[in-house]
Structure 1
Amino acid sequence: MPKMKLTDLSIKAIKPPEKFTTYWDTTLPGFGVRCSPKGKKTFTIMYGETRQKLTIGVYPLIALSDARNQAKHHLYAKDTPTGQKCFNDARSAFLSECQNRLRTSTVKQYTQHLNHLSKEKLTDIKRSDIDINNPYAVASWKAFFNWCIQNELIDRNPFQFIKAKTNKRERVLLDEEIRAIWAYDYPPYSNIIKLLFLTGLRRTEVMHLQLDGDIFRLPPEHTKNGRGHTIPATAWAKQYYEEFEFNGWSKGKSRMDRETGITDYCIHDIRRSFATIMAKVGTPIHVVESLLNHQSGVISGIKAVYIRHNYQEEAKIAIANYEKYMKNILA
């Protein structure tokens, strides 16, 4: 059976086949479009243990989005009491949909925790089935059951009121630790680390950084909050900038730890150290928030709606003071 990701473009591109052919959607199992030799395209679904088929409507008289919503209702709600739908089917549909709208790392997290269980029905899943002290597990199951509620597969989220215990990291690198890590020389990994120290970016963000004159730009699709970000690009930071192609984070960190002797920290602690040093040199908190591209902070609520100043001039001063402090550490 041919499969494809059904979009308006892909459906329009289907040419009339020699015989009736159904193209099944890769993002919603059981949903497809049936094409006739004359070019007529009809949305259809296949459901149940007996693999029954049901016609939804003819494209484009019925929109793809409407057909998909109807398909979800029939695939996961038809002839089955609320909450007793097949867990495996719901999980597969949820993860497939996530692949189209979420980061790869988030989908990987959801997949890891949702595949931990083997249950028949959604109602078979209990709080005791997961580690409620694992914030990633709780977040994954909350997201899944919220999706199930939205798609009328179940009427309650058993994990809604669970607050996972979290161990907030407060690790800030000491000056001597920064010196040791900075002295490590093993490009491109060591250049990435230096750029993290000089920009305060997340490691996933620095891989998509773009240099535009004296500005570093980060596209919105590569930021945590979905907002484009700009920071000053100093001569010092430019020395370590390149269009990185790197995926050996674990091996790179292990090698650096062995050679520097500094081990009790994670890469994100560099970002926390950046913010801490900014505070030490007297940078106002709203400028630090701007440099970190934090959506929440001291400017929130109605102020956040009306205040659109990006603090670029203030950021230049802050970065200059920060680099002066760093050079004193490394001297």
Structure 2
Amino acid sequence: MSEPVTLTDAKIAGLRPPERGRVEIIDKVVPGLRVRIGPSGMVSFIVRKRVGGSIKNVTLGRYGPRFTLADARKSARTALSDLTAGKKVVPAKRDSLTIKSLWAEYVLTKAKLRSHHEIIRIGEKHVLPELGDRMADAVTRGEVTRFIDGIKAPVMARLVHAQLSAFYTWALPRLDKLDSNPCRDAGRPSKPKARDRVLTETELATLWRVADAQAEPWRSAVHLIILTGQRKSEVFEARRGEFDLGAGVWTIPAERAKNEETHIVPLSASAGVVLEGIAEIEGSKMLFPAKGNPDKPASGIGKAVERMRAGLRAELGDDVPQWSLHDIRRTVATGLQRLGIRFEVTEAVLNHVSGSKGGIAGVYQRHNWADEKRAALDAWAAELQRILQGAKADNVVKLRV
């Protein structure tokens, strides 16, 4: 057993994680208080005391700016006194102040917002995996900066920063030890220039062929994005029950749509052919389930896109400008415009709540454009066939996928 030492913040900061197991150091100032460090480097305080014939252990909490050595000694004295008196010691429920627990409360307060689904998505995908177990009042602006810097997509990094900042604005009145919002002075990416990348006809035709050479789910998923113009998340996270091939309709439920409005996507004959060719995985409701986890959508999209980018460069040269799956959506919209499709119909196809459907106009304009959307996507399917066959604009042929 190690000899007790007079613990200081400097000594605790200088502790080095062991390769295996845990190291405990006994405090000389408050006998029974110990500081513990494991291989992960996490430092925590515990109290150990013999009561009667048994050893009692009480975990006090993690060491950090918001739970210092002085805080630990104060909590330890209280715990030791209670143990001596035979009382049951229940440490303060600091777990209730983790970002994970507070985030659950925060999300409930936003249930009526249109962005509710987006808040949940950002939390589950970005915030909670990285910061969920941290005490909310212990996160610093430096940690926020490093967390945001680790999100490589600038647009998403800004969205996560904004949502985390909104969370802390809500949480501040509930955190006695936090003086200010740590996101306020944390670094974040500059606002990116709006993308305007549209694939050329040659690029689009080449992408279709390159995708056709990919394994599932990438082949069919990219073909569906090209044929329907829907968001990649809506395609990759689709459930089989959303599709009615007999009626030629795909219904994206409100909880999956970005704008939280149910979206009806008419399916062209070509889209129907793609869907019919997707093998159903027994026991899975997903259209594109993950391997080994049929309840989750396929993962590895980023690597698949990189392979397809490499395929385009191999066929068209290294000077092919960078493109993303979202650029396909913009390419479809541009193609519909070129075909003379009304702006309002294009917006309806994309399920945009902006432009013609935004503001006061959206209150009074309730037409769902169902017939017009179907005509538009059928026209786009025929146009895509022309592009794939390299035909001239006035020589449109029937699309066969």
Q: Pick from 170, 180, 200: which aligns with 1:174?
A: 200
| TM-superposed deviation, 1:103 | 4.1
| TM-superposed deviation, 1:187 | 3.7
The answer for the alignment partner of 1:194 in structure 2 is 223
Return 165-174 or 232-241, whichever deviates more: 165-174
The answer for the alignment partner of 2:238 in structure 1 is 208
The answer for the alignment partner of 1:165 in structure 2 is 190
| TM-superposed deviation, 1:256 | 2.2
Residue by residue over 1:16-61, the C-alpha shift from the partner in whole angstroms, topping out at 9 and shown as x without a partner, is xxxxxxxxxxxxxxxxxxxxxxxxxxxxxx9996499xxxxxxxxx
| TM-superposed deviation, 1:179 | 0.9
| Residue 147 (1) aligns with residue 164 (2) | no
Determine the C-alpha separation between the residues in 2 that align with 1:155 and 1:170.
42
Structure 2 counterparts to residues 45-194 of structure 1, below 5 A: 50=75, 89-97=97-105, 102-104=119-121, 106-111=123-128, 114=131, 121=138, 125=141, 129=145, 134-149=157-172, 151=174, 157=181, 159=183, 165-167=190-192, 168-184=194-210, 185=212, 186-188=214-216, 189-194=218-223
| TM-superposed deviation, 1:284 | 1.4
**Count of residues paired in the alignment:** 255
Q: Pick from 250, 259, 266: which aligns with 1:225?
A: 259
Distance 1:137 1:302, change over 3 A: closer
Whether the 8 Å contact between 1:114 and 1:141 is mirrored in structure 2 is no
The answer for the alignment partner of 1:316 in structure 2 is 374
What letter is aligned with 2:200? L
Distance 1:249 1:321, change over 3 A: same
RMSD: 4.0
What letter is aligned with 1:170? D
Whether the 8 Å contact between 2:197 and 2:330 is mirrored in structure 1 is yes
What letter is aligned with 2:124? V
Distance 1:119 1:306, change over 3 A: closer
Whether the 8 Å contact between 2:341 and 2:376 is mirrored in structure 1 is yes
| Residue 305 (1) aligns with residue 357 (2) | no
Determine the C-alpha separation between the residues in 1 that align with 2:136 and 2:377.
53
What letter is aligned with 2:255? E
Distance 1:128 1:318, change over 3 A: closer
Whether the 8 Å contact between 2:198 and 2:328 is mirrored in structure 1 is yes
| TM-superposed deviation, 1:250 | 2.3
Secondary structure at the aligned position of 1:294 is classed as coil
Whether the 8 Å contact between 1:138 and 1:159 is mirrored in structure 2 is yes
Return 202-211 or 124-133, whichever deviates more: 124-133
Secondary structure at the aligned position of 1:239 is classed as helix
Residue by residue over 1:238-265, the C-alpha shift from the partner in whole angstroms, topping out at 9 and shown as x without a partner, is 1111422232312322322333326721
Determine the C-alpha separation between the residues in 2 that align with 1:266 and 1:304.
30
Determine the C-alpha separation between the residues in 1 that align with 2:131 and 2:221.
33
TM-score by length of 2: 0.53
Determine the C-alpha separation between the residues in 2 that align with 1:121 and 1:282.
56
The answer for the alignment partner of 1:258 in structure 2 is 310
Whether the 8 Å contact between 2:99 and 2:135 is mirrored in structure 1 is no
Whether the 8 Å contact between 1:119 and 1:125 is mirrored in structure 2 is no
Whether the 8 Å contact between 1:138 and 1:164 is mirrored in structure 2 is no
TM-score by length of 1: 0.63
Distance 1:292 1:150, change over 3 A: farther
Determine the C-alpha separation between the residues in 1 that align with 2:329 and 2:310.
21
Identity of matched residues, %: 25
Residue by residue over 1:126-181, the C-alpha shift from the partner in whole angstroms, topping out at 9 and shown as x without a partner, is 89956698514532432321331475767865656999622222211111110111
Whether the 8 Å contact between 1:127 and 1:159 is mirrored in structure 2 is no
Residue by residue over 1:247-302, the C-alpha shift from the partner in whole angstroms, topping out at 9 and shown as x without a partner, is 23123223223333267211111111111111111111111111111122223222
Determine the C-alpha separation between the residues in 2 that align with 1:201 and 1:263.
22
